[in-house]
Copies of this chain bind each other. A is one copy, B any other.
Amino acid sequence: MFAQSGFIAVDWGTTNRRAYRVGGDGRHDAEFEDDRGVLSIARGGFPAATAEIRARLGDWPLLLAGMVGSNKGWVEAPYVRCPGGFDELAANVVWTEPERSAIVPGLSYLAGDHADVMRGEEVQMLGAVARGLIPADGLACHPGTHNKWVLLEGARITAFRTVMTGELFNMLKSRGILADWLQGPVEVGDVFLSGVREGLKGGAMAADLFAVRARVLLGQANAADAPSFTSGLLIGSDVFAGLGEAAGAVTVIGRPDLTRLYAAAIAEAGREATQVDGEEAFLAGIIEVARRIS
């Protein structure tokens, strides 16, 4: 029903949301982004928060993805266990208003000791495959607060692993012994890449982080380099964990300011990296889900 009539697609995350008006022809003609993320909505506030979206983009059905389907969101949409592709996502949407609003579920992964979950990135990842921006088989990552390393096989997500690099960097920046030095910009350059090389060794990050401070105190490094070095260290460690045994090129999908950092780190690890804008991929993905909901 969504695809025929047109609908509003919403990528509703923890701290912000992006909404797009998609016509029956599959093209989007209006959008907005604001900071009304899931954590800013009070319990019981989602009907009003979705009414705001319709007030801005028109009275259309809503197809929602991301943390809006978590236990802190509007209605919980249970995770679909991997492997998962568009068919599994579409078959498991949860209707919050009959024939008017549905939430796309996230994915879960369990293998031996490892447990993992995602909500929202799967729509972007699969959308990028549908649009031909990334191969249907291979390794991709989605940097953000929680970076997701995803294994794609036959246009489905078969395994994934989350590394909370963004959250750790934000924490280190907001308080603690390195905070004063992490306020400046992160630049991709020699300093960032030297941090990446340190992280790629797979050493003890909690020790390497303290050394950032000690090097400055002992005159071995400049305080102004701390943001780039620390970001490189965390991302290098993330890439070390994520590349694992897989071979071949890696796609980095998401916000361009983050994908450029990961692409540089992956290249430093000797692997080819391609960047894809997550916004375009999200639209492609949510339209594919919509097409499968009758």
A interface list, Cβ under 8 A from B: 71, 79, 108, 110, 113-117, 146, 161-165, 167-168, 170-172, 174-177, 198, 202-207, 209-211, 213-215, 217-218, 220-221, 234, 237-238, 240-241
Contacts and interface: CB of A to CB of B under 8 A. Distances in A.
Given A115-B214, A164-B177, A211-B114, A206 B171 contact: no
Contacts of A175: 171, 174
30 contacts: A108-B214, A110-B218, A110-B220, A113-B198, A113-B211, A114-B211, A115-B214, A115-B215, A115-B217, A115-B218, A115-B220, A116-B210, A116-B211, A117-B213, A117-B214, A117-B218, A146-B210, A162-B210, A163-B207, A164-B207, A164-B209, A164-B210, A167-B177, A168-B168, A168-B206, A202-B204, A204-B240, A206-B241, A207-B238, A207-B241
B172 A214 contact: no
A212 to B, nearest CB: 9
B176 A214 contact: no
Contacts of A237: 204, 206
Nearest to A214: B115
Given A110-B220, A115-B220, 11 more contacts: A108-B214, A108-B217, A110-B218, A164-B177, A167-B177, A168-B168, A170-B176, A204-B237, A204-B240, A206-B238, A207-B238
Which 5 A-B pairs have CB atoms at the shortest separation, nearest pair first? A204-B241, A115-B214, A162-B210, A115-B215, A163-B207
Q: Which of A164, A171, A175, A217 has the most CB of B within 10 A?
A: A164
Contacts of A214: 108, 115-117, 162
